[in-house]
Amino acid sequence: MEAIIYNTKGKEAGKIALNEKVWGLSWNADLVHQVVESMRSNARMSTAQVKDRSAVSGGGKKPWAQKGTGRARHGSSRSPIWRHGGITHGPLNEKDYSKKINKKVRAKALYTVLSEKMRNGEVLFVDTIAMKAPKTIEAKAILTSLSGIKGFEKMLSKRKNSAYFATSEKSEMVSKSFSNFGNIDFDAVENMNPIDLLNHKYVVIVSPEKAISFIEGKLVTPAATTK
> Strand, coil or helix: what is 214?
helix
Asked whether residue 88 falls in the same domain as residue 150, the answer is: no
Asked whether residue 146 falls in the same domain as residue 69, the answer is: no
CB distance 185 to 222 below 8 Å: no
pLDDT in tens, 175-200: 999 999 999 999 999 999 999 999 99
Q: Which of 151, 117, 155, 115 minimizes the C-alpha distance to 139?
A: 155
Task: Look at residue 171 in the predicted model and tell me its pLDDT.
Answer: 85
Asked whether residue 79 falls in the same domain as residue 178, the answer is: no
Asked whether residue 121 falls in the same domain as residue 201, the answer is: yes
Q: Phi first, then psi: give them for residue 185, nearest 5 degrees.
A: -120, 135
Task: Look at residue 192 in the predicted model and tell me its pLDDT.
Answer: 94
Asked whether residue 79 falls in the same domain as residue 135, the answer is: no
Classify residue 192: in a domain, yes or no.
Answer: yes
Asked whether residue 56 falls in the same domain as residue 105, the answer is: no
Is pLDDT at 226 greater than 60 in this prediction?
Answer: no
Categorize the per-residue pLDDT at 156 as very low, low, confident or very high, splitting at 50, 70 and 90. confident
Is pLDDT at 144 greater than 90 in this prediction?
Answer: yes
Asked whether residue 125 falls in the same domain as residue 14, the answer is: yes
Computed over every residue of the chain, the mean pLDDT equals 91
Number of domains observed in the structure of the chain: 2
Asked whether residue 134 falls in the same domain as residue 161, the answer is: yes
Asked whether residue 63 falls in the same domain as residue 131, the answer is: no
Q: Phi first, then psi: give them for residue 84, nearest 5 degrees.
A: 70, 15
Owning domain of residue 65: 50-96
Classify residue 225: in a domain, yes or no.
Answer: no
Classify residue 32: in a domain, yes or no.
Answer: yes
Is pLDDT at 46 greater than 90 in this prediction?
Answer: no
